[in-house]
Amino acid sequence: MVRGGTAADPELTMTEKDDQIPVHLRDAPLRRTPRAMPENLPPYSFFAALLAVAYAIAHVLWSLTAPPAFVRTEFLFGPVWLAALPATLATVGYSFLRAAATSVRVLAVCATGLGCVALGAYCMLLWPGLAQLLTVPFGEPISSTEIGAIVLRAIGTAAALGIATAIVPVARALRHVCVNCGRNHAAPDNEALRWGRIGGYFALASFTVRMVPAVHSWIVEGGLGDPAGFPLFIALMIAAGTLLPLALISPWGQYWPKWLGPIAGRPVPRWMLLGPGWMMSAGLGAYFGIGGLTAVALGRTGGALEILAYTGWGAGLAVACASYARRTRPVCTDHR
Ligand SMILES: [Zn+2]
């Protein structure tokens, strides 16, 4: 298909275009947004790449000399130079993200992504370290070695996150969607609702699996010995397992329903659902998905069904949230 008129009749194309709502030429007649290269990568990704280079060089130098005490806490992952590998992979991938050849860009996206994930995983002890920092004002002691280790891991994590932001526009261009917003402006996005529904119903089913035995025991035991405020906690929990996943995939979660009078038909503020949705899925994923499943894998199989159900609930919510976030994205400044 020829885009926006023919080269043989440029004047006609111009007048036609003047009468129309300005639409980006590359999107107009095509069902798919063509593969375009993003004009710029996020500027801070460049500083993140510099940070990653410094991080890699420092680790190589430390492996050749006697490393300072705070670096020695990394020995539990292997030799000190090991940290230079993911940082180097991420940086090399980053430098090829804007290569001319599509195949090179695909490879660069994969290498950068792998490097960032590996570097983030290597620095994962940053998060317990930050939690430890929070206890310092309450009188818990912390050594300078521990602070040094936290700073080192913070640098690695910042480099991984910063470089990862550059992957987004490049990957969008490769996927034939708008570099700025991730939409396919040439076709309506029904796909996101389809996979979002699978996530929402999966969350609902997992929640039901979790709650059936609990409800049975409440009826039999009458909730004896439960602390005050427990009914509110249970009500919130039930809402997060039923209302929330359904709202994320239903029209009434996107626009206020008819019976709400004055606000009926107006868009629901997206963070009203995305806030609790992301928080629930992150909490369930971290506590039951990582913590619980690790305990089960180590042989502590008590409550395995509940742990699996909680994990499924969190995963389903995450999928439904991603779909909802996608469908309720703010209008793209490039294409109104
Ligand atoms: Zn867009």
Residuewise pLDDT in 10s, the chain (336 residues): 334 444 444 444 444 444 444 444 444 444 555 556 677 788 899 999 999 999 999 999 998 988 888 887 776 677 889 999 999 999 999 999 989 898 999 999 999 999 999 999 888 888 888 888 888 888 888 888 889 999 999 999 999 999 999 999 999 888 888 888 887 777 766 778 889 999 999 999 999 998 887 777 777 766 555 566 677 778 888 899 999 999 999 999 999 988 888 888 888 999 999 999 999 998 888 888 888 888 888 887 778 888 899 999 999 999 999 999 988 888 776 654
Q: How many angstroms separate the alpha carbon of residue 183 from the centre of ligand 1?
A: 6
Q: How many angstroms separate the alpha carbon of residue 258 from the centre of ligand 1?
A: 30
Q: Dump pLDDT digits (tens) for 176-230.
A: 888 888 877 777 667 788 899 999 999 999 999 988 877 777 777 665 555 666 7
Q: How many angstroms separate the alpha carbon of residue 329 from the centre of ligand 1?
A: 10
Q: What is the pLDDT of residue 15?
A: 40
Alpha-carbon distance 132 to 186, whole Å?
Answer: 49
Q: How many angstroms separate the alpha carbon of residue 195 from the centre of ligand 1?
A: 21
CA-atom Rg of the chain in angstroms? 25
Q: How many angstroms separate the alpha carbon of residue 280 from the centre of ligand 1?
A: 29
Q: How many angstroms separate the alpha carbon of residue 188 from the centre of ligand 1?
A: 12
DSSP H stretches of helix in 65-139: 69-72, 84-95, 102-122, 126-135
The neighbour count for residue 265, using CB atoms within 10 Å, is: 10
Q: What is the pLDDT of residue 36?
A: 62
Q: How many angstroms separate the alpha carbon of residue 324 from the centre of ligand 1?
A: 17
Whose CA is closest to 249, among 196, 204, 292? 196
Which secondary structure element, helix H or strand E, spans residue 65, and what is its range? Answer: none
Q: What is the pLDDT of residue 50?
A: 97
Burial 167-186 (b: 16+ CB within 10 A, else e): bbbbbbbbeebbbebbbbbb
* pTM confidence score: 0.63
Q: What is the pLDDT of residue 35?
A: 59
Contacts of 225 (CB under 8 A, 6+ apart): none
Residue with tokens 């310092």: 136
Q: What is the pLDDT of residue 197?
A: 95
Q: How many angstroms separate the alpha carbon of residue 33 from the centre of ligand 1?
A: 10
Q: How many angstroms separate the alpha carbon of residue 330 from the centre of ligand 1?
A: 10
Q: How many angstroms separate the alpha carbon of residue 179 from the centre of ligand 1?
A: 7
Q: How many angstroms separate the alpha carbon of residue 30 from the centre of ligand 1?
A: 15
Q: How many angstroms separate the alpha carbon of residue 181 from the centre of ligand 1?
A: 4
Q: How many angstroms separate the alpha carbon of residue 159 from the centre of ligand 1?
A: 27
